[in-house]
């Protein structure tokens, strides 16, 4: 397994461009199952999760051409025989569950493994299943698989809500299923995240009838058939936010290009509250950091609130603020695995239930740490950039799931970061060379 070796203490300066949104492209790829015509997706980032989703679609009979250099996917799903999405492919990422709705709507049957992904606490798919049952599907969960069937889904009034608020992937799954259902579906408490909006725009281009896009109430009138589409996914707001936080953490001055600042208003407001100078334009933002950050309080909430996918990175930032900050995690209360690793670097963090109290220190210290999830690994890299001395981040395949060539891009901004093969991998390569 690869690792990053980071020499801390170097400011990030200059400009960086963000790629397409991981959390947008994966459901859009699943939407290709709703038509037998070609679906073209542009601005596709080169990520492990995209490669995994390609394999899932191929196992379901799709023909996929992936031009990684140009960032273009061409998908055609004209073989509708396969209905099983196997565990071996589904175990690596949670977004793979999004094939359930399209399979059920188009092929009338689905056998989908329960999904995997990051270890950030319990994330059940009960709202996905509730939505499918509400549309008339018969469901059975056995041996780790969801088995679903329905001769024709039927529209219904559905409320998708939980103690954590709306469900992003659940909304995506139900909306896709409802596009081919008979009659009208009224979906209340729909997620409003930009990635859900992007998916709805794609479905509308394919011929779906969806009213209320961008609101908490979606009205979907089922149609008999959807056609192909050519669509460029939105910029990745989480990647943009991660670079913005990296600039603040390294006392840098960084311009993030190709982003949509309106999707990052909650982060921008918090960075300004911490003392950063943040300027924005139509498709860019610039972060200039102060000599010492002020402490702030943050609560993660569904969009347009502060995104849970930036919580770990912001916590890393606040470990060097001048005072005590509080972070309340309302989406995934157990999403604090990165706390123990930040402790290894000298951070002072006390976790109390779904709240973390962060007492800023003058300087973090480089240390060997281990990534355990996608966003937590990004937080450890940011901490390493700002720490004194050398930091080794192991198991960086997690960060490769959601950030394209992040080490190379950080080096262009002034970071001292190097990717090395893990010990077992290096030994294997050496043995192969010796043979």
Q: What is the set of active-site residues?
A: 118
The torsion angles phi and psi of 400, rounded to 5 degrees, stand at -70, -15
Q: Which residue has the tokens 């060379």?
A: 433
Cα separation, 118 vs 93, in Å, equals 7
Q: In this structure, what token pair is assigned to residue 393?
A: 């981040």
CA–CA gap between residue 417 and residue 6 (Å, rounded): 4
CA neighbor of 381 nearest in space, from 323, 307, 312: 312
Which of 301, 305, 350 lies closest to 324, judged by CA? Answer: 350
Three-state DSSP state, 127: helix
For the chain, how big is the Rg over CA atoms in Å? 22
Query: Token pair of 237, please?
Result: 């707001």
Q: Bin 244: left if φ > 0, else alpha if -120 < ψ < 50, else beta.
A: alpha
Q: Which residues contact 182 (CB under 8 A, 6 or more apart)?
A: 152, 153, 154, 155, 222
Direct distance between the N- and C-terminal alpha carbons of the chain, in angstroms, rounded to an integer: 22
CA–CA dist 335, 378 (Å, integer) = 14
Q: Tokens in use for 169? A: 């992937």
Task: Please state, in angstroms and rounded to a whole number, the distance separating the CA atoms of residues 240 and 17.
Answer: 8
Q: What are the Cα distances from residue 245, in Å, to 47, 88, 236, 252, 379? A: 21, 35, 14, 10, 9
Distance CA 10, CA 14 (A): 13
- Read off the tokens for 269: 């407001």
Q: How far apart are CA 354 and CA 352, in angstroms?
A: 6
Strand segments (E) across 97-177: 109-113, 138-142, 145-149, 157-159
The CA distance from 202 to 33, in Å, is 13
Sequence-separated (6 or more) residues with CB below 8 Å from residue 22: 45, 47, 49, 50, 236, 238, 239, 401, 402
């Amino acid at each position: 397994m690869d690792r990053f070796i980071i020499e801390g203490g170097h400011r990030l300066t200059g400009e960086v461009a963000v790629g397409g949104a991981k959390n947008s492209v994966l459901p859009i790829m699943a939407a290709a199952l709703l038509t037998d015509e070609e679906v073209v997706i542009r601005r596709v980032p080169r990520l492990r999760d995209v490669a995994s989703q390609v394999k899932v679609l191929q196992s379901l009979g799709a023909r996929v051409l992936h031009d990684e250099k140009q960032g273009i996917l061409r998908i055609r799903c004209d073989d509708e025989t396969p209905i099983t999405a196997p565990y071996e492919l589904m175990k690596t990422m949670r977004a793979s569950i999004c094939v359930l709705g399209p399979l059920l709507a188009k092929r009338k049957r689905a056998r989908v493994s329960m999904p995997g992904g990051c270890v950030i606490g319990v994330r059940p798919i009960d709202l996905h299943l509730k939505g499918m049952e509400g549309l008339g599907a018969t469901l059975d969960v056995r041996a780790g698989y969801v088995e679903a069937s329905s001769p024709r889904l039927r529209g219904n009034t559905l409320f998708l809500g939980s103690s954590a608020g709306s469900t992003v992937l659940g909304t995506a799954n139900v909306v896709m299923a409802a596009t081919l259902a008979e009659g009208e579906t009224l979906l209340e408490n729909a997620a409003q995240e930009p990635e859900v909006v992007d998916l709805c725009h794609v479905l509308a281009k394919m011929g779906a009838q969806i009213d209320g896009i961008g609101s908490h109430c979606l009205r979907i009138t089922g149609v008999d058939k959807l056609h192909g589409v050519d669509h460029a996914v939105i910029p990745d707001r989480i990647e943009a936010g991660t670079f913005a936080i990296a600039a603040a953490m390294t006392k840098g001055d960084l311009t993030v290009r190709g982003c949509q600042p309106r999707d990052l208003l909650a982060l921008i407001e918090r960075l300004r509250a911490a003392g950063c100078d943040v300027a924005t334009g139509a498709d860019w933002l610039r972060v200039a950091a102060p000599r010492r950050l002020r402490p702030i309080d943050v609560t993660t909430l569904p969009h347009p609130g502060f995104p849970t996918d930036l919580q770990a990175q912001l916590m890393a930032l606040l470990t060097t603020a001048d005072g005590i900050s509080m972070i309340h995690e309302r989406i995934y209360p157990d999403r604090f695995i990165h706390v123990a690793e930040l402790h290894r670097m000298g951070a002072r963090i006390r976790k109390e239930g779904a709240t973390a109290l962060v007492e800023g220190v003058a300087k973090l210290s480089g240390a060997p740490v281990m990534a355990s999830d996608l966003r937590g690994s990004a937080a450890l890299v940011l901490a390493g950039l700002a720490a004194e001395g050398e930091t080794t981040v192991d198991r960086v395949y997690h960060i490769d799931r959601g950030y394209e060539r992040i080490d190379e891009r950080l080096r262009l901004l002034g970071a001292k970061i190097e990717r090395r093969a893990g010990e077992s991998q290096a030994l294997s390569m050496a043995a192969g060379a010796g043979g």
